[in-house]
Amino acid sequence: VTPFNVFKTLLMKTLLIIFGLLLLSLLSLRAQSLRVSYYGETITHYGLKAAYEWPVWSYTKQRNQAQKKLLFAPGLAVYRHPHNHIGLVFSPELTYRRTSRRGGIFEAGIAPAYFRYFLEGTTFEVNDSGELTRVPLAGGNAFLPTVSIGFGKDLSIRRQLPLSWYTRLNLMQQRPYNTSALIRFSLEAGVNIPLKKP
């Protein structure tokens, strides 16, 4: 470890923080919204998800008044697979959303999500002397790259309700899982509440 390397690391970290703050301040100037939904891993393993949306880019087509947006939406989902595990999914999503003139929504997204799970059961680990010792909050961490596709309706366009509903399907790959990887899927159904006008 040389002083130059330390300086380089510090500089990189500072630049990253400055870049992050700049991005956030730019994003905060735009309309933001909160997404709250039911989150069902394999549909029935129930949970909740919340995500905060910042538009990164938006465009309205003059011909049909369809609005296109690219959103950055960090979200957190918590769910329970009874007698198996409790899962936490932190997903910094990048979502493309198209809202038609009549309010119909289509969206697709990707997220390099982080997955933390806690085994739902009393866990015993075999220690070096071959004895079984209890492990509190046993679980694991995994990378969970995700692709999503969904649809919904913006109710503010025709019904004057400042709200939209949506549902989306997420396809995820848990890595590592045992000797390889595991495909998971989840269903989201919820509402999108605008927080700040553009």
Residue 88 binds other proteins (CB under 8 A): no
Give the C-alpha separation, 150 to 154, whole Å: 13
CA dihedral (65, 68, 74, 80) in degrees, to 10, reads: 80
Judged by CB under 8 A, the chain residues 106 through 145 that form the site for other proteins are 117, 119-126, 132, 135, 138, 140
Non-local (6+) Cβ contacts of 26 within 8 A are: none
Q: Total residues contacting other proteins (rule CB under 8 A)?
A: 30
- Among 2, 62, 183, 198, contact with other proteins (rule: CB under 8 A): 183
Residue 194 exposed, middle or buried by CB count within 10 Å (0-12, 13-18, 19+): middle
Phi, psi of 13 (to 5 degrees): -65, -45
Residue 86 binds other proteins (CB under 8 A): no
Where does this chain touch other proteins (CB under 8 A) — which range of 20-28, 49-57, 69-77, 174-182? 174-182
Give the C-alpha separation, 122 to 137, whole Å: 9
Which amino acid belongs to residue 60? Answer: T
Assess contact for 78 and 112: CB atoms under 8 A. no
Task: Provide the minimum distance between the beta carbon of 116 and other proteins in the complex, in angstroms, as a whole number.
Answer: 13
- Among 176, 193, 195, 196, contact with other proteins (rule: CB under 8 A): 176
Assess contact for 35 and 49: CB atoms under 8 A. yes
Residue 87 binds other proteins (CB under 8 A): no
Which residue's CB is nearer to other proteins, number 44 or number 60? Answer: 44
Which residue's CB is nearer to other proteins, number 12 or number 132? Answer: 132
Task: Provide the minimum distance between the beta carbon of 86 and other proteins in the complex, in angstroms, as a whole number.
Answer: 12
Give the C-alpha separation, 111 to 52, whole Å: 14
Which residue's CB is nearer to other proteins, number 113 or number 142? Answer: 142
Continuous segment of H or E residues that includes residue 74: strand 67-81
Task: Provide the minimum distance between the beta carbon of 184 and other proteins in the complex, in angstroms, as a whole number.
Answer: 7
Residue 147 binds other proteins (CB under 8 A): no
Judged by CB under 8 A, the chain residues 2 through 41 that form the site for other proteins are none
Measured over the CA atoms of residue 149, residue 51, residue 54 and residue 115, the dihedral's sign is negative
Q: Which residues bind other proteins (CB under 8 A)?
A: 42-44, 81-85, 117, 119-126, 132, 135, 138, 140, 176-184
